[in-house]
């Protein structure tokens, strides 16, 4: 257990000297800031008098889209860098389990995303205290943050799983990216053609589950979907490291 | 303590090590000698739990390297061949990280201690990326010593060290080797002669000799070898020595130094000396030269090749 923290801490610290991580954090905060401002403006300044309550739904949706690109960039080097530097030999001969290595690295990346999410908390706070009267829907807010955390956890776990299979980080990046794009946008497509299994394909889709949760509906099946994929990603990563030993 | 029996590693069609069997006791420094591609690194990687063997068994510090890999890794200090370091960390932080991964209780103190042992106390706060090659090698060594391992496995540990450091390193390893088990690989055979209690020569994945450096020498050298130096140019010296009964393999090493061999128990050195003085040479020096491990090594690996053909 302690080993996981040791590894997670190093990975987390490493992001703060990594240009890629800064770019991702900057793009996310900057872009989501714009989405937020437009959201607020269009709700409050609508000349046709919509009278809508501004909410965070668009920010949360775009967080997901940005993470499709951001997560592969954060995970691509997690294992391949160790291989490139030869430090994998050090980690694989240290008294830590392969699973501890993978979980530690995943947690390090997850903490980085959580740090970004902590900064994003500023938006609901602004809405709650300055714009929306008598305050925003707290349950919706909690549910959407849970959704974002689950999404990040899943993306990063799948990302590290793939990263462990590739010695080359560019390859790891693109494979991860295409997997995410596929699972987000394409997995549901067969549902249009195959009527009998339509529900199954729709179930595979990231977007459906994510949008349900950030929409404020918390179903066990949606949470389970993300948890299962997270475990799967970590399992694939651990297996890939074990396979490397057998080579 | 290391016990290896029938260890084999197959990489696809290539057999990197083939049925290795050897032991190293506590309080022993075992040298692993062999040319490039002999299988030294492969063996060490199996012993450190980095990868499993294809066949055979290895017990390190009392535990099986496959089924009790974590226990083995807790007790082994390993310096890999390509010293793996995080160049973006300071030497201190790096060692602290490795110490934390080993759950060492007073990690900071221990890091200071090992930095002291490898003579890098003043460089602890510097980034590893800015250290010289030899210093990095020493940081790697410090890492291997962190947890006072029962078994120390060092893959070509002196590569890149300056002569002073080599001397310090040998002393360090000999000290450690008094109580623990050390396995180290090298191409530099004189090094094995200096540090190791026992050497194991491997070639193409097979052990071709195993003995103390002294015994290996005695076993291989059919006779005794003498080097002899005279003043000035020594034209004809070779012939003069050859004339003495019992001299063999007379060669000129350079213009005024000759070497010859004679059968053990038939010491003809006085006759040789008398003869060359009589012939008018000024004898400056005459000394016995042992056959170096280099020569033993070449001999062994070459006979192996010849046998194959
Ligand atoms: N990962 C690998 N995949 C395939 N073959 C390998 C691998 N690692 C080593 N080999 C092969 O195994 C054999 C033994 O290699 P090894 O690295 O153990 O030699 P060595 O004795 O350490 O050599 P050196 O003195 O050059 O370090 C070589 O023929 C090498 O090509
Ligand atoms: Mg080697």
A22-26: average pLDDT: 92
**What is the C-alpha separation between B138 and B306, in angstroms, rounded?**
40
- Mean pLDDT, chain A, integer: 87
**What is the C-alpha separation between B109 and A210, in angstroms, rounded?**
49
**B72 located within any domain:** yes
**B267 pLDDT above the threshold of 80:** no
Same domain, B258 and B196: no
Distance B202 CA to ligand 1 centre (A): 13
pLDDT tens digit sequence for A135-193: 777 788 888 889 999 999 999 999 999 999 998 999 999 999 999 998 888 776 766 77
Classify residue A18 by burial, with Cβ atoms within 10 Å: 0-12, 13-18, 19+: middle
Same domain, B96 and B70: yes
What CATH number does residue B130 fall under?
Answer: 3.40.50.300
Same domain, B177 and B202: yes
* Token pair listed for B277: 């003085």
**Percent with pLDDT over 90 in chain A:** 53
Three-class SS state of B32: strand
Same domain, B258 and B168: no
Q: Quick check: pTM over 0.90?
A: no
From the centroid of its chain, how far is CA B304?
20
**pLDDT for the residue numbered B289:** 74
* Token pair listed for B55: 């066949």
Listed residues B170, B191, B211: the one ending a domain = B211
Please indicate whether residue B158, judged by its CB atom, sits closer than 6 Å to ligand 1. no
Classify residue A223 by burial, with Cβ atoms within 10 Å: 0-12, 13-18, 19+: middle
Same domain, B51 and B138: yes
Least confident interval from B26-40, B137-151, B188-202, B242-256 = B242-256
- Mean pLDDT, chain B, integer: 86
**pLDDT for the residue numbered B223:** 61
Residues of A in contact with B143 (CB under 8 A): 90
pLDDT tens digit sequence for A33-77: 888 888 877 777 766 655 566 677 788 889 999 999 999 999 999
A120-145: average pLDDT: 80
Mutant choice from B13, B42, B50 vs A, greatest count of A C-beta within 10 A: B50
**B225 pLDDT above the threshold of 80:** no
- For ligand 2, a single-atom ion, the residues with CB < 5 A are B 40-41, 81
Please indicate whether residue B16, judged by its CB atom, sits closer than 6 Å to ligand 1. yes
Whether B151 contacts B76, CB under 8 Å: yes
**B11 located within any domain:** yes
**B40 located within any domain:** yes
Residues of A in contact with B11 (CB under 8 A): 247
Whether B213 contacts B196, CB under 8 Å: yes
Please state the φ and ψ torsions of residue B120, each to the nearest 5 degrees.
-125, 25
Three-class SS state of B184: strand
Query: CA neighbours within 13 Å on the CB side: how many for A157?
Result: 20
Q: Cβ of B306: how many Cβ atoms within 10 Å?
A: 8
Q: Which domain holds residue B66?
A: 2-211
ipTM: 0.87
Least confident interval from A40-54, B103-117, B155-169 = A40-54
Same domain, B13 and B128: yes
Chain A nearest CA to B101, separation (Å): 6
Whether A102 contacts A164, CB under 8 Å: yes
* Token pair listed for B209: 């000799």
**B111 located within any domain:** yes
Domain count, chain B: 2
* Token pair listed for B48: 């450190």
Same domain, B189 and B102: yes
What do you get for the CA distance between the two ends of chain B, in Å?
A: 38
H or E element at residue B19: strand B14-24
Q: The sheet that has B151-155: what strands, in order across it?
A: B76-79, B151-155, B181-186, B28-33, B198-203, B206-211
What CATH number does residue B266 fall under?
Answer: 3.30.70.100
Q: Cβ of A48: how many Cβ atoms within 10 Å?
A: 5
Q: Chain A: residue nearest B74 by CA?
A: A95
Say whether A89 and B50 touch across the interface (CB within 8 A): yes
Distance B53 CA to ligand 1 centre (A): 14
Chain B nearest CA to A103, separation (Å): 14
Please indicate whether residue B45, judged by its CB atom, sits closer than 6 Å to ligand 1. no
Same domain, B50 and B111: yes
Listed residues B211, B244, B272: the one ending a domain = B211
Same domain, B205 and B232: no
Same domain, B144 and B66: yes
* A161: Cβ contacts below 8 Å, ≥ 6 apart: A102, A232, A233, A234, A235, A236, A237, A240
The pairing of strands B76-79 and B63-64 is unpaired
Interface check A94 vs B, CB under 8 A: yes
**What is the C-alpha separation between B85 and B262, in angstroms, rounded?**
52
B41-46: average pLDDT: 96
Same domain, B47 and B138: yes
Q: The sheet that has B248-254: what strands, in order across it?
A: B248-254, B257-262, B224-230, B283-289
Least confident interval from A23-32, A45-54, B109-118 = A45-54
**B33 located within any domain:** yes
- Residue B309's pLDDT band, with cuts at 50, 70 and 90, is very low
* A167: Cβ contacts below 8 Å, ≥ 6 apart: A80, A83, A84
Return the exposure string of A55-79: e unless at least 16 CB atoms fall within 10 Å of the residue's CB, then b.
Answer: bbeebbbbbbebbbbbbbbbbbbbb
**A111 pLDDT above the threshold of 60:** yes
Same domain, B130 and B243: no
Q: Which ligand is in closest contact with the Cα of B33?
A: 1
**pLDDT for the residue numbered A214:** 85
**What is the C-alpha separation between A92 and B72, in angstroms, rounded?**
12
**B302 located within any domain:** no
**pLDDT for the residue numbered B211:** 85
Cis status, amide bond into B78, omega within 30 of 0 = no
């Amino acid at each position: 257990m302690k080993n996981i923290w040791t590894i997670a801490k190093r990975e987390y610290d490493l992001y703060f000297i990594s240009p890629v991580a800064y770019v991702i954090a900057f793009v996310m905060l900057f872009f989501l800031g714009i989405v937020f401002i437009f959201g607020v403006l269009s709700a409050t300044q609508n000349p046709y008098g919509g009278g809508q309550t501004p909410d965070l739904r668009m920010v949360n949706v775009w967080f997901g889209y940005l993470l499709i690109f951001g997560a592969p960039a954060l995970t691509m080097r997690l294992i391949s860098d160790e291989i490139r530097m030869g430090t994998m030999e050090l980690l694989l001969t240290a008294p830590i389990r392969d699973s501890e290595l993978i979980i530690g690295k995943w947690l390090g990346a997850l903490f980085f995303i959580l740090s970004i999410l902590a900064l994003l908390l500023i938006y609901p706070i602004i809405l709650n205290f300055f714009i929306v009267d008598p305050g925003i829907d707290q349950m919706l807010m909690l549910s959407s943050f849970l959704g974002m955390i689950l999404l990040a956890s899943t993306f990063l776990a799948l990302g590290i799983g793939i990263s462990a299979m590739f010695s080359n980080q560019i390859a790891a990046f693109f494979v991860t990216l295409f997997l995410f794009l596929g699972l987000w946008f394409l997995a549901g497509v067969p549902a249009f053609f195959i009527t009998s299994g339509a529900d199954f394909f729709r179930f595979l889709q990231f977007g459906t589950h994510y949008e349900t949760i950030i929409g404020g509906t918390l179903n066990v099946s949606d949470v389970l979907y993300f948890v299962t994929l997270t475990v799967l990603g970590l399992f694939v990563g651990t297996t890939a490291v074990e396979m490397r030993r057998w080579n | 303590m290391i016990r290896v029996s029938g260890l084999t590693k197959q990489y696809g069609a290539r057999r990197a090590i083939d049925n290795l069997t050897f032991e190293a006791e506590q309080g022993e420094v075992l040298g692993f000698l062999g040319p490039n591609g002999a299988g030294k690194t492969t063996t060490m990687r199996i012993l450190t739990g980095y990868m499993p063997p294809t066949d055979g068994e290895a017990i390190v510090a009392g535990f099986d390297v496959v089924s009790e890999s974590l226990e083995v890794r807790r007790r082994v200090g390993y310096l890999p061949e390509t010293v793996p370091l995080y160049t973006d960390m300071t030497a201190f932080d790096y060692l602290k990280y490795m110490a934390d991964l080993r759950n060492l209780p007073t990690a900071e103190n221990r890091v200071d201690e090992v930095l002291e042992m490898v003579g890098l106390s003043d460089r602890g706060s510097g980034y590893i990326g800015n250290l010289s090659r030899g210093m990095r090698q020493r940081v790697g060594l410090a890492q291997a010593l962190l947890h006072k391992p029962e078994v120390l496995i060092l893959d070509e540990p002196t590569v890149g060290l300056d002569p002073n450091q080599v001397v310090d390193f040998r002393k360090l390893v000999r000290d450690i080797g008094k109580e623990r088990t050390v396995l180290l690989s090298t191409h530099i055979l004189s090094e094995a002669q200096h540090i190791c209690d026992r050497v194991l020569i491997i070639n193409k994945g097979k052990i071709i000799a195993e003995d103390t450096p002294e015994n290996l020498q005695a076993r291989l050298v059919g006779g005794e070898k003498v080097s002899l130096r005279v003043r000035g140019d020594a034209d004809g010296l070779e012939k003069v020595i050859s004339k003495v009964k019992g001299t063999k393999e007379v060669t000129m090493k350079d213009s005024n130094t000759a070497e010859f061999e004679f059968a053990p128990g038939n010491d003809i050195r006085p006759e040789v000396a008398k003869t060359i003085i009589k012939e008018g040479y000024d004898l400056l020096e005459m000394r016995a030269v042992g056959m170096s491990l280099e020569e033993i090594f070449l001999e062994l690996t070459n006979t192996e090749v010849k046998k194959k053909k």
